[in-house]
Structure 1
Amino acid sequence: MSNQLRRQVLKRTALAVVLGACLTNGAVYAQSTTGSIYGSAPSEAGSTIVVQSDTGLSRTITIDANGRYTLGSLPVGAYTVTLKRGDQVVDTRKNVQLRVGSGTEVSFAGAGTSGSNADATTLGAITVTAANAPKIDVSSTSSRSVITSEQLATLPLGRSAEAIALLAPGAVAGSGAFNNGSRSVVSFGGSGVTENAYYINGFNVSNPLSNLGGVSLPYGAIDQQETYTGGYSSRYGRSTGGVISQVGKRGTNEWHFGAQAVWEPKALASSRGDVWFPNATLPTNFEYTDRSQPGTLYRSGKDNTQTRTVYSAYAGGPLIEDRLFVFVAGETDKTDGVTTNAFTDSTQARNNYDYSSPKFYGKIDWNINDNNILEYTRVQNTDRRSGYYTSFDYDSLSGGAATGTYPDTFKIKDTYDIFKYTGYITDDLTLSATWGRSKQENKQFNRLVSDLPFLGSFTNQDPAITGGQPIGNNQTTNRAKADDPTNKTRSLRVELEYRLGNHDLTAGVDNMYFNAYDEGVRTTGPGYQWIYGRQTDPTQAIRPGLGVGPSGGNGYYAQRRIFTTTTSMAVEQKAYYLEDRWQVSDNWLLTLGIRNDKFTNFNSDHVAYVDSGDQWAPRVGASWDVFGDSSLKVFANLGRYYLALPNSVAIRGASASTYTDEYFAYTGIDANGEPTGLRSLGPGPVSSNGEYGQAPDPNSFAPTDLKSQYQDEFLVGFEKTLGSSWNSGAKFTYRKLQSAIDDVCDTAKIGDKLTAQGGDVDAVSIPGCVMFNPGQTNTYKLRNVDGSGYTSVRMSQSDWGFTDKARRNYVAVDLFLEHPFDEKWYGRVDYTWSHSYGNTEGQVKSDIGQSDVSKTQDWDAAALMYYAGGSLANDRRHQLKAFGAYQLTPEWMASATLRVMSGTPKSCLGYFGTDESDPISYGSAYHYCGGQPSRPGDAGRTPWTTNLDLGVTYRPSFADHKLALGLQVFNVLNQRDVLRVNGVYETAPSTVSNTYGIGTDTFSFNTPRFVRLSASYDF
C-alpha cells in the first residue's frame, strides 16, 4: 500500500490506535486537556529539542546531562519533534499525536545520525521509532483508558460519554432509574453512580444538583475521551468512583469542514418483549395483592419501537495563521417512538414519545505568542422529553386514537463558558488558570393542567365497587417542579508547575461554587394524590407504629399523600494540592501528592449545615521500567479520595418538606376515581420521617463532627509487550469505603439517650431525620425550646441500635491482551473478575431506584439494616469486553464491540420478621422475604447479558476517501434480558406484590436489536 493511500485511509482510523493509546494506562491528570512529550537523545553540547504544533505553537528545550528531556502542558494535537545541534537539524519526527493527560515518548538514538529513519516504522505520515510502536507508557501510575475520535468514527458505540466509558475495565451501566433523557449513569469499581466526575476541556460538567451523570460534547466534536477507573493524582478529587473527561477538537492551520447524517429506522429494529405478571409459588398464608393477575400480561411490547435521526456538522480552521483558531460543531438528535404503559398504570395507553437532544460546541484558541495561550470554550446541551398518549386496550391488545392526555415534559438545558490561560514563563516553569461558569435550567411540567388528583395503584380499587373495571381520570403525573428551577456553578483552578532537576513539582488550588434555586417537587392537581391498597389480613394494623389501624371489611383501603420539597441551597468546594513526580532513576518514577478538600453545604437561608474542615488525602504512585526499554512495567498506586455532598441533600433535609399519608376505608368511588364514604383509619396525616412542613434547624440536621464520605484505594499491576505485535497486562484493585453519610430517622433514640443522661426531652427540639456517619459516633446540637441555646448529645452506633458500620469493599482482577494496529487490524480483550460487597451501595439505592442522594431508606433505623450485608447492587462478578477493527481493503473496514456480563444480585424487601411486623412503619422495606431473612443476592441474580455490536464502513476511492458510508447493527443476538427487577416483595403484610421479581420499566431490560445507517463527508 502506498504512503499516499495510507494517509487517506488510515489517518481517520488506525493511526490514532497506535499513537493515541486507546485503552492504555497513561499518566496521571484526570481532568487535563494537555499532554507531554518526553524521551532521550544524544546529550552533546548544544543539543536541543524543538516541538511545533499544527497550530504553529513552538517550544524549545535543552537536553539534560543524562540525555533526557520533557516538555509538559502541551495542548493536545499533532506535533513535529526536531532534534537540533546548534542551528543544524539532526532528526525529525512528524505528526506525533499527543495523548490527553499523559506522556508520549519520542526518542532519538545515536548521535548525528540524520538517517535514523532506517530504524523507524513508517505508518502513513507518522514516523516513530520501531521500538516505540508496541512499547508501554512507563510514565503512568494510574488506571485509565483513552478512546480517540478516529475510533469513535468506526466502532459501533452508543453516541454518549457513558457508552464510551463502558469500554473501560470494571465499568458497568448503572440503573436506568437514574437516567435523564439522553444522559445515563455508570458505576466504576463498585461505586455508586453519583460518585463520578465529568469534565469537558478541564472544567467540571457533572450534574450540579445531584451529581447523577453529566454533560457531554457533540459526538463529532470529541477529540479524545479518557476514562479513569482509579489511581489518579492529587491534582484531582471529589470522586470515589471514576472520571469521564472529554477533550474537544480545536482549529488548526488548515480549514476543515464536515457533516454527517445518522438514521436508526424503526423498520429495522426489534420490538421490546412482553412482560408477564409472575405466578410463583408463595409461602403458606401469603397471597398476591390481586389474585386475578398472576400469569397475565403486565406490559405489552408489541410495536414498541423507535426511529432516531442525528444530523451534525463542524468547521474549523485559522482566523489568523499560527495565531488564532476556531472550531464549531453542532448536532441535532431526535428520537420518536412508542412504549405501552403497564396494565397497572393509572393511564392504560401508549406513550408516543419525542426525545430531542441538540448540542453545540465552540472553541477559540489564541496563541498570543509561543509563551502565552488563551482558550475559550462554549458548550450547550439540551435534553427535552415529551409526547402524547393514545388509547390501548389490554383485552384486544390494540391501540386507538389520542386520549388528550400527556406524559410529563422534561427539559434540561445546560450552558457552559470556560476560559483557560497557559503561560510558559520559562522552560521549567508553567502557569495555568481555568475559570468557568454554567447554568442549568431543570424543568418538569405537563401540557395538560388537571385539577384532579393522581391515582396510584388504582388496579387495587375494591372490585365490589368498580365491578372489576378500575376507575381512572386524566391526571397522568403525581409530581411537578417549580416554574423556573435553576442551577448555577462557578469554578476557578490555578496551577503552577516547576521542573527542578528530576522533580516535576506542581501546586494548585481548585475551587467550585454551586447554587440551586427553587429545586424540588410538589404534588400535582389539588395538592394531594390517592394510592389504593389491599390487605390480605384486614384485621392487622396497616402502620401500627404510626397509629394507623386495620382496614377491616374486605381489606381495601386508600391513602391520601401530600409531598412538597421545593427549596434553594448552595455548596462550596475548595481544595489545594501539592505533587512531586520524581524520576528517581532511569527505571523508577515516584508520584508523591497530597490534597486538602473542604466542603461546605448551605440551606435556603445560606446557613451552613455541613462544614467538613480540612480533609487530607495522600496519593502515592510508583512505576518501574524493569528492563529500561519500556517492554515491562510494574506499577502501583495508593490513595485516599473524598466525596462531597451535592446540593440536592438540602431537599427533604436541611430545608422544609412535607411528606404525609392519611389512611381511609371507603364505601364508594366517584367518576374521577376518588374514594368516597371515607372512614379514617388513623390519627390523621402521618409521616415516617416527621416531615410535616416545619423548617428544620440547620444546626441540628447534621452533627458538628460529620465526616465526608471517603474511600481508600490500592492497585498494583504490570504491563508487558509480547514480541513486537502484542501488549498484555494484569492489575489488582482493592477499594475500601472508610466513611459514609446517610440520614437516620429513628430520632426517638436521641430522646432515649438524653433521658438516660438525665436530660429533659421536652426541653429540646429533636428533628425528624438527621445526617450521620453510620458506625461512627457523632455529636448533635439540639435547640432548646426556651431559646436559651443548644443541648449537645453524642450518639454512637449502639445508641442508634445498629450492629454494624457502613461497609463497602471492592476487589478486582483485570487482565488484558491488545494487538496494536499493524496496517491490517487492531483488537483488545479485557476480562475482569470483581466482587463488590458490604451493606452500603453509596449515596443512592439502585435496587429500588431511590435517587435521594445520601438520604436513602438505608440506615433510617436499625431494623432496616438487619441482614443488609451481601453483594451490592452494581456487583457483576464476571465481565468480558472486546473491541477492534479490521481493514478488509483500502476502502472497507469492519469493526465490532462485545460485552458479556454476569447478572446483578436481586433483593427481596418485605415486612419485618417471621410475624410480618412493621416496627418503624416503613412497609415492605426490611431484609426479610416471606418471613425469612434475605440478604442482597439471596433471591438470586439477574441473567447474564451479551451485547454483540457489528459495523462496517465504506470509504470509496472515487471520493478520495472523504465520503464514509456506515452500517452498524447493535445487539446482533437480540438478547432482551432483564437488567433490574422490582425487589419490593409485599404491598401489605403477607400480601405479595404482583410485580415482585420482574422488570417494571422499559429501562429494566436490555435494548432490543436495532440498525444504524450513517453517511458523512469531510472536506
Structure 2
Amino acid sequence: MQPLSSIRCQRTVIFVTAPIWRAIEMTIHSARHRRPFFCSTSPVRYGRISMLALALSGAVGMLATGTAAAQSTTAGIYGSAPASAGATVTAQSDNGFTRTAPVDASGRYAIGNLPVGTYTVTLQREGQAAETRKNIALRVGAGTDVSFGSSHASSGTATLGTITVTGNNISPVDVSATASRTVITAEQLQRLPLARSGEAIALLSPGAVQGSGYFGNAISFGGAGVTENAYYLNGYLSSNPLTNIGGVTLPYGAIDQQETYTGGYSARYGRSAGGVLSQVGKRGTNEWHFGGQMLWRPKSLSSDYKDVFYPDTPLPSSDYSYSKPKLPGTLYRSRKGDKAWNTVFSAYVGGPLIEDKLFVFLAAEQERKDGVSTASRGASVIGRDTYRVDKPKVYAKVDWNINDSNILEFTGVKNNDRESGAYSDFSYPGVIARSASGAFADTVKVDDRYYIGKYTSYITDALTFSATYGKSQQSDYRNNPSLAPYLYNANREDPAITGGGEIHNNQTSTQSRDGENRTHGLRLDLEYVLGSHTLASGVDNMYFNANNEGALTTGPGYTWSYDNLDPNVPISDTLGVGPAGGNGYYVYRGVFKTATSMSVRQKAYFLEDKWQINDRLLLILGVRNDKFTNFNDAGKVYVESGDQWAPRLGISWDAFGDSSLKVYGNVGRYYLALPNSVAIRGASPSTKTSEYFTYTGIDAQGNPTGLTPIPVDPSVGVSCSGNVVSSDRECGQQPDVASVAAHNLKSMYQDEFMVGFDKTLGSDWVTGAKFTYRNLGTTIDDVCDSDKMRTKLTAIGVDPSTVDVPGCVIFNPGETNSFSLANLDGSGRTALSMSSADWGFDKKAKRKYLALDLFLQHPFDGTWEGRIDYTVSRNFGNTEGQVKSDIGQADVSKTQDWDAAALMWYSGGYLANDRRHQIKLYGSYQIAPEWLIAGNIRVLSGTPKSCLGYVSINGISENSAAGDPVGYGSSYHTCNGQPSRPGDAGRLPWTKIVDLGLTYRPEFADKKLAFTLQGFNIFNERKPLQVDSIWEDNHYKLSNTYGMGVNFTQPRYTVLSVSYDY
C-alpha cells in the first residue's frame, strides 16, 4: 500500500503415552507452515554411563531439567554424586521452596522446573547432610551442573565436618541447550554501562542490530524485520499488540534476568521469526531487602547533535535540476543546542510476608526527561521545541509456596508515558520569519497495564503441570491542540506569492489518535518423563482486541500539500489529474482517516520429545501447530490460516562427555501472524483522498486562497466524488471483507538452520562458533494493481465492469492467489485466480540471511568478566519483511513493495538491516576492592543505501506515462537512467561506539552504597545511521534532501548515579 508520506499522487492437549517423535513422523508430511519461535528446553549433561542405565534407571532424574525456552521463567539443576542406597539431593531456594530428587544407580540426579533464584543444594545419605553447595544462582532457561564428591571439590572449597560449602559452580558450556541465546543478570546490569532498556540489553547479543530510527528502538535479529520479534514479561507476551513493533519491558531495577534469543527456539513457543526479549522480574526471598537509586544525566555533560546541511551534490546531467536550486550546501536543520537531560528515581523492597510461604517484591521508577529539539527549515512550524517526558513505572510480584508441590505467582506491571512540549521562535535565512509562539508539540498519554498469574504443580517426580494466564490493557492518546491544517512542502509554495520565503502555521502534527488495545492469553504446559524421553505438550492461546485504533487528521481534518511541475505535464496520469497550467504551482487537500476496531485470535498447541539417546547425545524433536484468525471492525473474518505445522529439531553432542566441547545444531520452521494493524486501511473502512487546485494566494496560516479545481478524468483514475481522487480507492466505504485477502493465503514463515560449537579453554575461558542460515519461505503484503485484475477477468471472459474489483488486496507475493469478487448486480461472486505472472512479477519474494558468529568469553569470577563477539553476515533479497525501512513505512504487511510490478523492478539487493561486520565487546574489572571499571564497545559496518526515482531506463522519459507507471512518484529502483538496486548507491560509514563506567563502593558502607559514573559514546561519534533515499521530488527535479542523514548516532552524554542496596 502506498504510504501516507507519499504526498504526491503517486483444547487442551493431553500428554501422550508414546514418544512424541513418532507423532511427528505421522504429521510432518502434511506440514504446511508454521511460526513458533522459541528456545529449546534443557536436558542435562551426563557422565559416561551405559545406555541401559540411562534408559532404565537414570532417565527420570536426568531429563527432569528440561526447562529452557524463550518465554521460560524456570531453570534446572543436575549433576553427579557418589551412588549409594537411598542417597538424595535437595535444592532449597532462598525463599524456602524445596525439592528433592534421588541419586540413581549411575550416580546422576536432576531437578527441573525450578523458579529462578539462589539455591542451597545438599547431598543426603542415610538422612544426614553429607555435602552442601551454597549460593547456586540459576540462570533462566538453563541447567546448572552441581556435582558432589571429592573429585568435584575445588581448591577454594572449605570442609566443615562432613559438609562442603562452595560458591556457584556453573559449567561454562551448557550441553543441555541447543538454542542460541544470551542471558544478562541483574548483577551484570549493575556493572555494565547500558542504556536503561530491554533493547540495549538485547543488543549485546550476536546478530542483533538496531533497526531503522523510523521505528524507535526496535531491533532486527538475524536479518529479520523489526516486527518479527516477541517480548515477554514473566512468561506473558508483551509485544506491541497493534503492530508488533517493540514491546513493554520491566522497570530497569526490577529485572532479575533478561534472556535474549537469536535462534533455535523449540516447538513450545512461537510468535517470532526474528528474536525474543524475555524478562524475568525479581521476587521476594526469606530476607527483607530494600534499596533505591538516583540517576542524573546533566545537560552540561551532554554534547550537541551536528547541524544538518542540504547535500551539495553535482547534478547528474543537464536534464536534471534541483527543486530548490539555492538550497544545496545550505543549512537544513540547526542542531546546536539540541540536547536532552533527565533524572531517574527508583526504589524497591522485597521480603517474606510469611516465612517460607508468602513473599512480595515491589519496585517503582520515575523518569523525567527534558530536552530541546529544533525543527528543520521545511517543517510546518519552524521553532525550537522544549519538551518534557515523564515515565513512571511500577512492578509488583507475589509468590506463594502453597507447599513444595504447588506454587502460585502473581505479577503486576504498570508503565505510563506522558509527553508535551511548546515551541519558541527560531528562523532560518530565506524563510519568512514568523513567531512560533502558540505552537505545541503533541500531547501524548500512553498507559500499559499487565496482570499475570502462574500456577505450577509438581504432581509427581516425573509429572509437572503449569498454567499461565495474563491480560493487558494499553491506551494511546496523541493529539495536537492546534486547529490549523498541517502544511506539507511549504518550501514549494509559489515564490511569486511568498516573495521567495515560506509561510508556515502552528500545526506540528499530521495525525491524532485515541486508541485502546486489550489482550488476554492462556498457556498450559504438561511435562512427563518416560524412560529416556521427556515428553511435553501444551496449549498457547492469545487474543488481541483493538478499539478506535488508527489515525485521524489533525486540525480541521485535512492537510495542504504544495508542489510544482511543468505546467503542461499531467500531475498524475494514473489518477487522471490534468496539468496545473499557469506557472505550474498547485496544491492539494489531503484527508486521512483510518480509526477503526479489529481483533486477532492466535491458537496453538505443541508436542515435544527430548530424547537422551546416550550419555552424550541429546535430540529435541517437536512440532507446533499455529492457527491465526483476523477479524475486521464488523467482527467478520478476513484472514484465517488453518492448521500450520512447524517441525523443530535440535541436537547437542557432548563430544568428550565432560562438557568441555559441545557441538549443536537446530533446524526449524517459524510462522508469523498478521497483527491487528493489518485491518487498518485494508479490511475496515478508511479514507485517503486528494483534491487538486491551483491558487492565487496564501493566507497567514498557510492556507491557499483563490482556489480553482484542476480537472480530473474519472474514467482514468479512482474518483470518490467530483474532483476527489484516491490512489488506493480509499473513499471511506465499507470494504467487501470476502475480497480483502486471498482465500488460499499462507502465513509468513521462515526456515532456519543453525550449527555450531562451544569449547572450554582451560578452566576460565570458553570460545565458540556458529553458522546460521535463514530463508524466508512466504511473506504477506498487499498488491494495489486493480488494472491487472481487470485484465485477467477479461481474459477469462468476465466483463470487469460487472465486478467489484478492489483497489488493494492482501496476497502472497510470488504465489498463485485465489480471490472471490462480488458481482455488482448482487447475483453472487466471481472466482479469480491470479498468478505471479498475471500481476507482472517476474520474481518471488526473497530474503536470505547467512552469518558466522565467533566469540571468546571469560565468565565473571569475582574479579572480572569479558566477552567479544564477531559476526560476518549477508542479508539480501527483495523483501525486508513486514515494514519498509528505507522510507520508514510502518504499514505492517501493507508496504508499497509489491503494490505493482514496476515497483519491484531491480528490487533485489542487500536489505536495510544488512551489516556485513559486527564486533561487540563488553566486560567489567574489579581493579580494587572498592573500585570497578566496565565497558561496552560496538563496531559496526554501515547499512546499504537506496535510491528511489522515476523510471528512466531504456530511454524512457520521466515525463511520459512510462516514467511513473503506477502513479507513485519517485518510488522506483531506477536513478539517473540506471537501475538502482538496494545497496548500489553505496553504504553508510562504519560506526564505533564506546561506553565506559566507573563504580565506587566504599568499605565503610559495607559496599551497599555505590557511586557510578558512566559515559556513553565517549568519543562523541556523530554519524548518520540512515539517509534519505528519495531521489526526486518531481520529474527531473532532484530532491534537495536525497542522501541527507535522517537518523544519527546519539551524541556523547554522561550519567551520574548513587544507589543503596540493603
TM-score with structure 1 setting the length = 0.94
- State whether residues 967 and 1012 of structure 1, in contact with CA within 8 Å, keep that contact through their aligned partners in structure 2: yes
Of structures 1 and 2, the one with the larger relative CO (CA 8 A, separation 6+) is: 2
CA shift, 1:789, in A, is: 2.4
Aligned to 1:403: 437
Aligned to 1:419: 453
- Aligned pair in 2 of structure 1 residues 397, 95: CA closer, same or farther (>3 Å)? farther
Aligned to 2:538: 508
Greater shift, 376-385 or 263-272, is seen at 376-385
| 2:130 alignment partner, one of 90, 95, 103 | 90
- Aligned pair in 2 of structure 1 residues 763, 399: CA closer, same or farther (>3 Å)? closer
| 2:554 alignment partner, one of 501, 504, 524 | 524
CA shift, 1:481, in A, is: 1.4
Matches of 2:327 and 2:316, distance apart in 1: 18
- State whether residues 766 and 858 of structure 2, in contact with CA within 8 Å, keep that contact through their aligned partners in structure 1: yes
Q: Does the residue aligned with 1:527 lie in a helix, a strand or coil?
A: coil
Aligned to 2:1042: 996
Aligned to 1:432: 466
Aligned to 1:570: 599
- State whether residues 377 and 431 of structure 2, in contact with CA within 8 Å, keep that contact through their aligned partners in structure 1: no
- State whether residues 390 and 400 of structure 1, in contact with CA within 8 Å, keep that contact through their aligned partners in structure 2: no
Structure 2 residue identity aligned to 1:530: W
- The answer to whether the aligner puts 1:268 opposite 2:277 as a matched pair is no
Matches of 2:148 and 2:666, distance apart in 1: 30
- The answer to whether the aligner puts 1:780 opposite 2:830 as a matched pair is no
Matches within 5 A, 1:252-263: 252-263=285-296
Deviations 1:368-418 (A, max 9, x none): 011000000000111222111111122499999871110112222110000
Aligned to 1:196: 229
- The answer to whether the aligner puts 1:458 opposite 2:494 as a matched pair is no
Matches of 2:644 and 2:966, distance apart in 1: 35
Matches of 1:693 and 1:53, distance apart in 2: 60
- State whether residues 76 and 144 of structure 2, in contact with CA within 8 Å, keep that contact through their aligned partners in structure 1: yes
CA shift, 1:43, in A, is: 2.7
Aligned to 1:351: 385
- Aligned pair in 2 of structure 1 residues 236, 133: CA closer, same or farther (>3 Å)? closer
Matches of 1:995 and 1:860, distance apart in 2: 25
Aligned to 2:691: 662
Matches of 2:964 and 2:432, distance apart in 1: 42
Matches of 2:126 and 2:749, distance apart in 1: 53
Matches within 5 A, 1:108-147: 108-109=148-149, 117=153, 135-147=172-184
CA shift, 1:523, in A, is: 1.3
Aligned to 1:869: 908
Greater shift, 27-36 or 804-813, is seen at 27-36
Q: Does the residue aligned with 1:755 lie in a helix, a strand or coil?
A: helix
- The answer to whether the aligner puts 1:625 opposite 2:625 as a matched pair is no
- The answer to whether the aligner puts 1:800 opposite 2:839 as a matched pair is yes
- The answer to whether the aligner puts 1:710 opposite 2:739 as a matched pair is no
Matches of 2:873 and 2:459, distance apart in 1: 46
Q: Does the residue aligned with 2:789 lie in a helix, a strand or coil?
A: helix
Deviations 1:840-887 (A, max 9, x none): 000000110000000000000000000000000000110000000010
Matches of 2:1002 and 2:218, distance apart in 1: 38
- State whether residues 893 and 953 of structure 1, in contact with CA within 8 Å, keep that contact through their aligned partners in structure 2: yes
Structure 1 residue identity aligned to 2:180: S
- The answer to whether the aligner puts 1:475 opposite 2:507 as a matched pair is yes
Query: Structure 2 unaligned runs (5+)?
Result: 1-65, 713-722
- State whether residues 76 and 112 of structure 2, in contact with CA within 8 Å, keep that contact through their aligned partners in structure 1: yes
Identity of aligned residues (%): 61
- State whether residues 411 and 453 of structure 2, in contact with CA within 8 Å, keep that contact through their aligned partners in structure 1: yes
CA shift, 1:803, in A, is: 0.6
| 2:270 alignment partner, one of 225, 237, 241 | 237
- State whether residues 171 and 659 of structure 2, in contact with CA within 8 Å, keep that contact through their aligned partners in structure 1: no
Q: Does the residue aligned with 1:893 lie in a helix, a strand or coil?
A: strand
Aligned to 2:25: none
- State whether residues 685 and 734 of structure 2, in contact with CA within 8 Å, keep that contact through their aligned partners in structure 1: yes
- Aligned pair in 2 of structure 1 residues 514, 950: CA closer, same or farther (>3 Å)? same
Deviations 1:281-339 (A, max 9, x none): 12221111111211100011111111110000000000000000000000011110101
Aligned to 1:205: 238
- Aligned pair in 2 of structure 1 residues 61, 771: CA closer, same or farther (>3 Å)? same
Aligned to 1:561: 590
Structure 1 residue identity aligned to 2:305: R
Structure 2 residue identity aligned to 1:958: F
Aligned to 1:642: 671
Matches of 2:697 and 2:978, distance apart in 1: 37
Q: Does the residue aligned with 1:208 lie in a helix, a strand or coil?
A: coil
Query: Structure 1 unaligned runs (5+)?
Result: 1-25
- State whether residues 907 and 939 of structure 1, in contact with CA within 8 Å, keep that contact through their aligned partners in structure 2: yes
- State whether residues 866 and 927 of structure 1, in contact with CA within 8 Å, keep that contact through their aligned partners in structure 2: yes
| 1:940 alignment partner, one of 978, 986, 990 | 986
CA shift, 1:31, in A, is: 0.1
Aligned to 2:876: 837
Q: Does the residue aligned with 1:480 lie in a helix, a strand or coil?
A: strand
CA shift, 1:538, in A, is: 3.3
- The answer to whether the aligner puts 1:362 opposite 2:396 as a matched pair is yes
Structure 1 residue identity aligned to 2:409: E
- State whether residues 419 and 434 of structure 1, in contact with CA within 8 Å, keep that contact through their aligned partners in structure 2: yes
| 2:1025 alignment partner, one of 964, 979, 983 | 979
Structure 1 residue identity aligned to 2:196: R
- Aligned pair in 2 of structure 1 residues 64, 682: CA closer, same or farther (>3 Å)? farther
Aligned to 2:798: 759
| 2:418 alignment partner, one of 374, 384, 393 | 384
Aligned to 1:724: 763
- State whether residues 390 and 399 of structure 1, in contact with CA within 8 Å, keep that contact through their aligned partners in structure 2: no
Deviations 1:557-582 (A, max 9, x none): 21111111110000000000011111
Aligned to 1:175: 212
Aligned to 1:616: 645
Greater shift, 630-639 or 83-92, is seen at 83-92
CA shift, 1:657, in A, is: 0.6
Aligned to 2:335: 301
- The answer to whether the aligner puts 1:64 opposite 2:104 as a matched pair is yes
Structure 2 residue identity aligned to 1:641: Y
Greater shift, 657-666 or 293-302, is seen at 657-666
Deviations 1:38-61 (A, max 9, x none): 112223211111111111111111
Q: Does the residue aligned with 1:799 lie in a helix, a strand or coil?
A: helix
Moved over 3 A (4+): 116-123, 125-130, 132-135, 395-402
Deviations 1:125-184 (A, max 9, x none): 996599x556311001000000000010111001000000000000001112112xxxx2
Deviations 1:622-676 (A, max 9, x none): 0000000000000000010000000000000000111111222222222221222
Q: Does the residue aligned with 2:867 lie in a helix, a strand or coil?
A: strand
Q: Does the residue aligned with 2:199 lie in a helix, a strand or coil?
A: helix
Aligned to 2:1014: 968
Matches of 1:365 and 1:886, distance apart in 2: 35
Matches of 2:1020 and 2:433, distance apart in 1: 25
Greater shift, 80-89 or 857-866, is seen at 80-89
Q: Does the residue aligned with 1:232 lie in a helix, a strand or coil?
A: coil
Structure 1 residue identity aligned to 2:925: Y
Deviations 1:965-990 (A, max 9, x none): 00000001100100011111111111
Aligned to 1:11: none
- Aligned pair in 2 of structure 1 residues 963, 553: CA closer, same or farther (>3 Å)? same
| 1:282 alignment partner, one of 295, 298, 315 | 315
| 2:620 alignment partner, one of 577, 591, 601 | 591
| 1:492 alignment partner, one of 522, 528, 540 | 522
- The answer to whether the aligner puts 1:48 opposite 2:88 as a matched pair is yes
Matches of 1:742 and 1:276, distance apart in 2: 36
- State whether residues 426 and 436 of structure 2, in contact with CA within 8 Å, keep that contact through their aligned partners in structure 1: no
- Aligned pair in 2 of structure 1 residues 755, 395: CA closer, same or farther (>3 Å)? closer
Count of aligned positions: 977
- The answer to whether the aligner puts 1:1012 opposite 2:1041 as a matched pair is no
Structure 1 residue identity aligned to 2:322: Y
Matches of 2:482 and 2:517, distance apart in 1: 26
Structure 2 residue identity aligned to 1:376: F
Structure 2 residue identity aligned to 1:745: C
- Aligned pair in 2 of structure 1 residues 491, 286: CA closer, same or farther (>3 Å)? same
Matches of 1:263 and 1:397, distance apart in 2: 38
